[in-house]
Amino acid sequence: MKFLIKTFLVILVVIAGYFAFIYFMTYSQGVRAGELVKFSNKGVVFKTWEGEISQGVSEAQIFKFSVEDKDKKVIENLNKYQGRFVKLTYIERYKTFFWLGDTKYFVTKVELNTNYNK
């Protein structure tokens, strides 16, 4: 019986460690700029915020990103800046959870790119 309890606890710790690693550890972080072409709240059971910026003239230069629900100011600004040039600060995670977003890129800050919005 003690063996089963210890095995269960070890499995629980490993699973918790995996989820903590995926959520808290970042693979990279950076800044991307472009025209905000899409930002929406989508999903049936789990609603996630998803967006795209165009960094050029072709579809190959589309940067897709997600925003967590807790980042209310980012969501508000992205809704306000639809169709304008923005600068996004983001983190890239190793993986994502389906209830957080569709991409591994999560925007943490958004600014109006004044170099293009004259």
CATH number for the domain including 56? Answer: 2.40.50.140
Asked, for residue 18, whether it belongs to a domain, the answer is no
> Which pLDDT score, from 0 to 100, does residue 22 have?
81
Q: How far is CA 23 from CA 38, 49, 100, 104, 116, in A?
A: 25, 17, 10, 10, 34
Residue 42 lies in a domain: yes
Encode pLDDT of 67-88 as tens digits: 998 999 999 999 999 989 999 9
Please give the residue range of the domain that contains residue 93.
27-112
The predicted pLDDT at position 98 comes to: 76
11, 20, 33, 118 from 91: Cα distances, Å? 29, 16, 14, 28
**Average pLDDT estimate for 81-104:** 89
pLDDT of residue 59: 64
116 pLDDT band, cuts 50/70/90, is low
Q: Specify if 51 maps to a domain.
A: yes
Per-residue pLDDT for 31 more than 60?
A: yes
Residue 51 has pLDDT above 90, yes or no: yes
Number of domains the chain is built from? 1
Quick one: what percent of the chain has pLDDT higher than 70? 94
Residue 118 lies in a domain: no
What confidence score (pLDDT) does residue 19 get?
A: 84
User: What's the pLDDT score for residue 44?
Assistant: 86
**Average pLDDT for 48-69:** 87
pLDDT at 49 over 80: yes
